[in-house]
Amino acid sequence: MSTPPPDSTPGATKPSNFLRQIIEHDLSVGTYASRRWAGSPGDAAHHAAAPPDTAKIRTRFPPEPNGYLHVGHAKSICINFGLARDYGGVCHLRFDDTNPEKEDTEYVNSIIDAVRWLGFDWSQPGNTAPYQASDYFGFMYRAAETLIEAGHAYVDEQTAEQMRANRGDFGKPGVDSPFRSRTAAENLARFREMRDGLHEDGSMVLRAKIDMASPNINMRDPAIYRIRRATHHNTGDTWCIYPMYTFAHPIEDALEQITHSICTLEFEDQRPFYDWLLERLTETTALPDGRVVGGLLSAPPPRQYEFARLNLTYVITSKRKLAQLVYDRKVSGWDDPRMPTIVGLRRRGYTPSSLQLFAERIGVTKSDSWIDYSTLEGCLREDLENTAHRGMAVLNPVKLVLTNWDEVFAAQGGASYLEPCSLPALPHPPEGTEAPARHFTIGKEVWIEREDYEEAPPKGYKRLYPGNKVRLKGGYVIECTGATQDASGTITQVLATVVPDTKSGTPGSETVKVKAAITWVGVADGVRAEVRMYDRLFNDAHPDAGGKDFIESLNPNSLKVVTALVEPSLANALPDQKFQFERHGYFVADRVDHVTGGKPVFNLAVGLKDSWGK
């Protein structure tokens, strides 16, 4: 799957949104026109010597590699990579791996796969690897020392409880720490001791010195570095102090010359600190001793913009909660087809274009709302409608015997005779092409759906009941004569006679009128398949809203496995290949358990019609 071609008129063909308006404004007034790009991330000096940046904008997608990406991340990926593509820019893939405890290379690889699979690419001339925030630890340390020297940060030795108590709350201003008025030299010495491992984990932190009375609690001297003896997957034991996310993130953006740093709304309250920090690190400060510090980062600094995160009904989009489903074995793994992870959606039959269409359709807004799950399914249906090959499958089979077959086809061999049939695999083939054909045979015995026979038909029933005629789709018109039952009253065989000269597509076949055509699969060439019928994972539209225990609303019937019979064209499905099982819905050949017990495996991707909320 490749990245769609860039629009010739930047952004012009897409519906506008507030992010597009901001970018278009910045491009028209040249907000970032003076930026330079040294080919790799770095400080002001690194970029100053470089040529002007050829990327008109720089965005980034910065996942923490602590889990698998989900449908919400897909939205963020489509936004960030999509904007860069549409406006002649570049989008960086950056692993936000500043927290030493939780990262894992399994997650790193899955994130790389997910972004590529969605159709996006972060590589730029001379640079194909994703960025890692941990590569910037050295710079972050330097930035912290600069803040200390300029009087913008101090080492606080209050206990965590004291700090919490002194922070105040919405109605109450905070109280200055007794350590707040230390000299820069004292703070620097203490911070270096922290770095050198002379103090216990948690015994002190470095804090920005802003305003303990700020109405925004995030501005009440936030912690920016903590002591944590943990081995980091990239930097090993080099560091025993680690930057806090709110300090690290703006610096990562600035080193990478990001122009538009797009995040979800919960970071709105962090924006003042984002701006405060980058301002302090781009400006220069003359110290009392005559030295000048600062000017570490190039100007103009990046700016942060917030959009509403995706909330999807019947779905949870928290990595932590998804992990709980996996570890408590409520699902078969991160790629269980019921999971909203990108690997799960993919295994369910979702395509990159269906997810891109979804991201476009839901748009970008500044206020939180719930998107109906059916919107996601509609996008998949729309994508598969014209591309998925058709095939017949019988999910709940009962045998139908054509009792006059031997006589009607006596000349061709009688009971064992099989008549070749074919139907187009696509109802609407692409312009100028002919639909590929599917081939199968009809014989004396075929499988039909159990629900297609009624001994005593309800009013309006048009399928098989004694005396009624239907067409076996792509085959013959048949007339039902009855059925056999076992002692418990279960139908064991449906009986019918074939009406000669009515085969689909032959001259005169339409002279016998019927009210219904039913799907079927030949007993001779039908293939047994395992079909996994998936349903929503939760019965509650908002499974984890308001602190609810989402485990309680797990749908016990979210997976039913049936042995179906499928026509021969489906028997050799390739892993990941999508089909429309006529009348049943869209199915995908499972990419993990491609064959089980000798049977091909198919997953229900989405039904033919929207059945949600009905």
Residues that bind Mg ion (CB under 5 A): 64
Check residue 73 for interaction with ligand ATP (CB under 6 A).
Answer: yes
Answer yes or no whether residue 75 interacts with ligand ATP by CB under 6 A.
yes
The closest residue (CB) to ligand ATP is 72
**Separation CA 429–CA 407 (nearest Å):** 39
- Please, what is the minimum distance in Å from the beta carbon of residue 353 to ligand ATP? 19
- Which of Mg ion, ligand ATP, none sits in contact with 121, Cβ below 5 to 8 A by type? none
Among 14, 24, 64, 193, the one annotated catalytic: 64
Question: Which residues, listed in sequence order, are joined to residue 397 by a DSSP beta bridge?
Answer: 449
Tokens of 610: 């929207």
Q: Residue 249 is which amino acid?
A: H
Q: How far is the CB of 64 from Mg ion (least distance, A)?
A: 5
CA distance 291 to 262: 36
**Binding residues for ligand ATP, total number by CB under 6 A:** 14
Who contacts 291 (Cβ-Cβ below 8 Å, separation ≥6)? none
**Cβ of residue 309: shortest distance to ligand ATP, in angstroms?**
4
Mark residue 552 as left, alpha or beta (left: phi above 0; alpha: psi -120 to 50; beta: remaining): alpha
Quick one: which of 309, 462, 473, 542 contacts ligand ATP (CB under 6 A)? 309
Does 319 qualify as catalytic in the annotation?
yes
Catalytic annotation on 479? no
Amino acid code (one letter) for 345? L
> Active site residue: 14, 309, 330, 450, which one?
309
Specify the residue, 132 or 317, whose C-beta has the smaller distance to ligand ATP.
317
* Closer CB to Mg ion, 64 or 157, in the complex: 64
Measured from the CB atom, the residue of 72 and 174 that comes closer to ligand ATP is 72
Binding partner at 522 among ligand ATP, Mg ion, none, C-beta below 5 to 8 Å by kind? none
Minimum CB separation of residue 333 from Mg ion in Å reads: 22
Binders of ligand ATP in range 314-343 (CB under 6 A): 317-319
Binding site partner of 263, from ligand ATP, Mg ion, none, Cβ cut-off 5-8 A by kind: ligand ATP
CB of 268 to ligand ATP, least distance (A): 12
Query: 131-132 and 90-95 as β-strands: parallel, antiparallel, unpaired?
Result: parallel
309 is catalytic: yes
**Other residues' Cβ atoms within 10 Å of the Cβ of residue 515:** 12
Annotated active-site residue in 303, 319, 469, 503 = 319
Residue closer to ligand ATP (CB basis): 265 or 608: 265
Find, among 263, 164, 265, the residue nearest to 205 by Cα. 164
* Per-residue b or e along 76-109, where b marks 16 or more CB atoms closer than 10 Å to that residue's CB: bbbbbbbbbbbbebbbbbbbbbbbbeebeeebbe
Distance CA 594, CA 588 (A): 10
Cβ nearer to Mg ion, comparing 64 with 454? 64
- The residue from 63, 352, 543, 585 that contacts ligand ATP (CB under 6 A) is 63
C-alpha span between 525 and 424 (Å, rounded): 18
536 binds ligand ATP (CB under 6 A): no
Q: Report if residue 264 touches ligand ATP, rule: CB under 6 A.
A: yes
Q: Is 249 in the site for ligand ATP (CB under 6 A)?
A: no
Query: What are the two backbone dihedrals, phi and then psi, of residue 352, each rounded to the nearest 5 degrees?
Result: -55, -40
Q: What character string, x for contact with ligand ATP (CB under 6 A) and - otherwise, covers 76-115?
A: x---------------------------------------
As measured in angstroms, the least distance from the Cβ of 74 to Mg ion is 15
Euclidean distance between CA atoms 580 and 21, whole angstroms: 40
Q: Which residues contact 347 (CB under 8 A, 6 or more apart)?
A: 335, 336, 337, 588, 590, 591, 592, 603
Q: Are 299 and 47 a contacting pair, CB within 8 Å?
A: no
Q: Is 72 in the site for ligand ATP (CB under 6 A)?
A: yes
User: E strands along 247-371, which residues?
Assistant: 260-264, 284-286, 292-294, 303-307, 311-312, 370-371
211: DSSP letter: -
Strand partners for 223: 207
At residue 243, φ and ψ (nearest 5 deg) are -70, 150
- Contact status, residue 91 vs residue 80, Cβ threshold 8 Å: yes
Decide if residue 310 touches ligand ATP (CB under 6 A).
yes
Count Cα atoms within 13 angstroms, Cβ side, for 356.
20
Contact status: 528 vs ligand ATP (CB under 6 A): no
Task: Report the nearest approach of Mg ion to the CB of residue 238 (Å).
Answer: 24
Residue ranges in contact with ligand ATP by CB under 6 A: 62-64, 72-73, 75-76, 263-264, 309-310, 317-319
Instruction: Supply the residues annotated as catalytic.
Output: 64, 309, 319
